Chain A
Amino acid sequence: MISAEHITVTRSGRKLLDNVGIDLEAGKFTVVIGPNGAGKSTLMKVLSGEMKPDSGLVTYYGTDVELCQPVDLAKRRAVLPQATQLAFPFTALEIARMGAVAQGALNPTEQARQALSRVGLRGFESRPYPSLSGGEQQRVQFARVLAQVPQPVADGVPRALFLDEPTASLDLGHQISVLEIARDFASAGGMVLAILHDLNLAAEFADHLVVLNHGRVVAEGACAETVNDEIISSVYGIAGAVGRLPAAHIPYVLPQSRHR
């Protein structure tokens, strides 16, 4: 289990995170939602070991993250960043291969190929990264992350996927397929933490939903308890939007209805 307790981060006199605690459990898909500037990305940086909180403790199976070497952390969790631009023309395969190398794969090139085909980019191996569209670049990065933690559980220890807005530049179909891969990862015993802006996707995929606002956890639990009018209107300022159909003249698309 990866957990954070009493995390506080202050930057320029502003509390980005204020006494936040979160537990990532094996087999669970945890989703963090909240408005811009709520502290979601900061929380992910603290959990991944990238940022040192001003106070509070992050532990990986009881070990303080400060005491872990980067190379050991890299075998336990992989992080998908928001959009990444490169000034050097690596191919899609070479990017994905970096993830496989990071976890010490014996045949990194083969693992990179598998990861690319898992995200639907078979045939894109030789494409230079800068020539890909934003959505394709994002999926190449996702392949890199999958190549870094190919097994949800290895040596009896669950691995973690940290996804910072994984659906940001993707079309509807790919938004769902990326989150389905993440959900399969969790179902197979891994841990997933994702930051999402789309509340419909969050409600569909989250086993555990955390609502952040102004650096604090304002609600957490199953979606049925957390996505309600009271919380959504207090956090986002949008009232009366949960579970109601829009006016008759506006068509609407609810991807989660595909399962009915």
Chain B
Amino acid sequence: MMKALAMPFRPAADGDRTRQGAVMLGLLAVLLLAACLLSLGIGPTGVGLRDLWAYATGHGDSLTTRERVILEAVRLPRTALGLLVGAGLAVSGAMMQGLFRNPLADPGIVGVTSGAGLAAVAAIVLGNSILAPVAMLLGNQFLPLMAFFGGLFNTCMLYVIATRDGRTSTTALILCGIAIGALAAALMGLLIVMADDRQLRDITFWSLGSLGGATFGRVMSILPFIAIVLAIIPFVARGLDALILGDAAAFHMGIPVQRLKKVVIVAVAAACGSTVAVAGSIGFVGIVVPHLLRLTIGPSHRFLLPGSALGGGALLLIADCVARTVAAPAELPIGVVTALFGAPVFLFLLLGKNGISLRDMP
């Protein structure tokens, strides 16, 4: 299947994939639009695509108040949140893989997500006690900012530990991720012992991931983080391409390497931390989306990064639709859906000829 998928996108005979990249961005934009409509138009309440159409074309009067509330206060924020979270996860994955020069570097696999999650759980449990002054200071942004700093701390630690002379060893990266994940799990266990019932429910929500609690407040709290990360794409794309050839080669091609790395590390932590804060830890989007894109349009970041934003948003919205409908009226955690889809794809990629060749790993 993967091969058939990649076929129409084989590098053109002249080696230039610019056109393929542009076509792909167009296709992904259409897919994202369709995913948005799907997410707004389906659900267990009987408010369907037809009602959505009526609402969008200004014939909203035909809808009952209840239907309108469902659209405006439930589905709209949920769709917006899914869009932002999916885009943030996929772009942070793609950036991290470029930074570490390693297609296996996914924020979830290497432990950045667990650092952000730990910080978020700490914020929930300790927000009324030890961390109360910090919570007062940061106000509404307390949770996302805590998760951001948790993610930032872990990304920096990973970089220091796993990178020697500008080269990142896959083994060190993965082992480091395992150790960080174990440490985060242990500390989270301590926090769980201290938590009360309501906090426990919140914590379960973080560990599996969900868009269920979507409100416009949450959308607004992550919007600035994701907007900044998306806005820097045009400024880091060329540098990340050059960085694939090595720190020295990138410097020789005029890239201010240290500055680029700092910007990308902060961006990864911002995207990853803020998404964890509002939706919990959702795995595999950050590795599957960029990798499928690389198979079709090549590894150049000028298309990979915007493509990941569009594709990540679309994938997460579709996964959320599945999570909402398969067991309706109950709802699956979205992290379960992405893992059920993503983990087999990831394993397939490790296996496949077109996929990640472990022999090529530094």
Contact = CB atoms under 8 A, between A and B. Distances in A.
Contact of A87 (B103, B252, B257): B103
B101 interface: yes
Given A87-B103, A127-B15, A130-B360, A98 B298 contact: no
Contacts of A72: 254
Given A86-B244, A94-B298, A102 B253 contact: yes
Contacts of A98: 241-242, 245, 253
B252 A78 contact: yes
Interface residues of B, number: 33
Interface stretch (B6-14, B197-205, B339-347): B6-14
Max chain A Cβ within 10 angstroms of own Cβ: one of B14, B254, B257: B254
B44 interface: no
A128 B295 CA distance: 12
In terms of DSSP, what is the predominant structure of the interface of chain B? loop
B252 A91 contact: no
Interface string B18-33: 1000000000000000
Interface in A42-81: 45, 48-50, 69-75, 77-79, 81
B246 interface: yes
A99 B253 CA distance: 7
A70 B251 contact: yes
Contacts of A234: none
B11 A148 contact: no
A236 B96 CA distance: 46
Given A70-B255, A70-B256, A50 B248 contact: yes
A228 interface: no
A85 B359 CA distance: 12
A119 B101 CA distance: 27
B218 interface: no
A98 B255 CA distance: 11
Contact of A88 (B242, B244, B253): B244
A99 B254 CA distance: 10
| A: contact size bracket | 35 or more
Interface in B302-344: none
Contact of A94 (B17, B251, B256): B17
B299 A79 contact: no
A50 B17 contact: no
A81 B248 contact: yes
Contact of A125 (B15, B102, B238, B253): B15
B93 to A, nearest CB: 14
A126 interface: yes
Contacts of A187: none
A89 B293 CA distance: 12
A91 B241 contact: no
A199 interface: no
Contacts of B15: 91-94, 124-127
A109 B253 contact: no
Interface of B: 11-18, 101-103, 238, 241-242, 244-246, 248-249, 251-257, 294, 298-300, 360-362
19 contacts: A70-B254, A86-B244, A87-B101, A88-B294, A89-B299, A90-B244, A90-B298, A91-B15, A98-B241, A98-B242, A98-B245, A102-B253, A109-B16, A113-B14, A125-B15, A126-B14, A128-B11, A130-B360, A148-B253
Interface of A: 45, 48-50, 69-75, 77-79, 81, 84-95, 98-99, 101-102, 109, 113, 124-128, 130, 148
Given A70-B251, A74-B253, 4 more contacts: A79-B249, A88-B299, A102-B242, A128-B11
